[in-house]
Chains A and B, each alone.
Chain A
Amino acid sequence: MLGYIIRRVLAVVPVMVIVALFVFLMLRLTPGDPAAILAGDSATPAQLDRIRENLGLNEPLHTQFIGWVTQMFRGDLGVSLISKTPVSTMIGQRIWPTLNIAVLTITLSVLIAIPMGVIAAWRHRSWVDYAVMTFSVLGFSVPVFVIGYVFIQIFAIELRWFPVQGYMAPSRDFVGFLQRAVLPAFTLATIYVALIARMTRASMLDVLGEDYVRTARAKGLRENVVLFRHALRNAAVPIMTIIGTGFALLIAGVVVTESVFNIPGVGRLTVDAILARDYPVIQAMILLTAGLYVLVNLVIDISYTLIDPRIRY
Chain B
Amino acid sequence: MAHATQPASAMQALLGALSLPRRWRIGAGPIIAAVVLLVIVLSALLAPLYVPYDPMQMNSLNRLQPATADHLLGTDQYGRDLFSRIMIGGRVSLLIGVGAAVFSVLVGLLIGLVSGFFRIADAIIMRIMDSLMAIPAILLAIALVALNGPSVWSVIVAITIPEVPRVVRLVRSVVLGAREEPYVEAAIALGSGMFGILWKHLMPNTLPALIVQGTYICASAILTEALLSFLGAGVSTEIPTWGNIMAEGRTYFQVNPGLIFWTGAVLSLCILSINLLGDTARDMLDPRLKKREA
Contacts and interface: CB of A to CB of B under 8 A. Distances in A.
A and B found bound together:
yes
A237 interface: no
Contacts of A274: 139, 142-143, 146, 233
B285 interface: no
A128 interface: no
Given A149-B261, A290-B134, A277 B127 contact: no
B126 to A, nearest CB: 10
A145 B245 CA distance: 13
Contacts of A252: 136-139, 227
Given A19-B131, A37-B147, A146-B268, A251 B136 contact: yes
A270 B146 CA distance: 12
B213 to A, nearest CB: 15
B14 interface: no
Contact of A140 (B261, B269, B275): B275
Interface residues of B, number: 44
A133 B276 CA distance: 12
Interface stretch (A22-30, A61-69, A214-222, A224-232): A22-30
Interface string B267-284: 111011001100000000
Nearest to A164: B254
A46 interface: no
B287 to A, nearest CB: 16
A45 interface: no
Would you call the interface of chain B mostly helix, strand, loop, or mixed? helix
Nearest to B265: A146
Contacts of B275: 137, 140-141
A15 B268 contact: no
Given A143-B230, A143-B264, A202-B293, A289 B127 contact: no
Interface residues of A, number: 47
B261 A285 contact: no
A149 B233 contact: no
A133 B1 contact: yes
A251 B246 CA distance: 21
Contact of A143 (B128, B226, B272): B226
B257 interface: yes
Contact of B231 (A150, A271, A282): A271
B132 interface: yes
Contacts of B136: 248, 251-252, 286, 289-290, 293
B140 interface: yes
Given A14-B127, A146-B260, A202-B293, A282 B132 contact: no
A142 interface: yes
B257 A149 contact: yes
B238 to A, nearest CB: 17
Contacts of B134: 15-16, 19, 290, 293-294
A6 interface: no
A279 B128 CA distance: 23
B292 to A, nearest CB: 7
Interface string A80-124: 000000000000000000000000000000000000000000000
A149 B253 CA distance: 8
Interface string B204-232: 00000000000000010001001100111
A281 to B, nearest CB: 11
Contact of A259 (B131, B146, B231, B267): B231
Contacts of B138: 251-252, 255-256
A144 B246 CA distance: 12
Given A30-B147, A146-B268, A286-B140, 14 more contacts: A19-B135, A140-B275, A141-B268, A141-B272, A141-B275, A146-B246, A146-B261, A153-B261, A251-B138, A256-B230, A259-B230, A271-B232, A274-B143, A290-B135
Interface of B: 1, 127-128, 130-140, 142-144, 146-148, 219, 223, 226-227, 230-233, 246, 253-254, 257, 260-261, 264, 267-269, 271-272, 275-276, 292-293
23 contacts: A14-B127, A14-B131, A18-B131, A27-B147, A140-B275, A141-B268, A143-B226, A143-B230, A143-B264, A146-B246, A149-B261, A153-B257, A153-B261, A252-B227, A255-B138, A255-B231, A259-B230, A271-B231, A274-B143, A274-B146, A277-B146, A277-B147, A286-B139
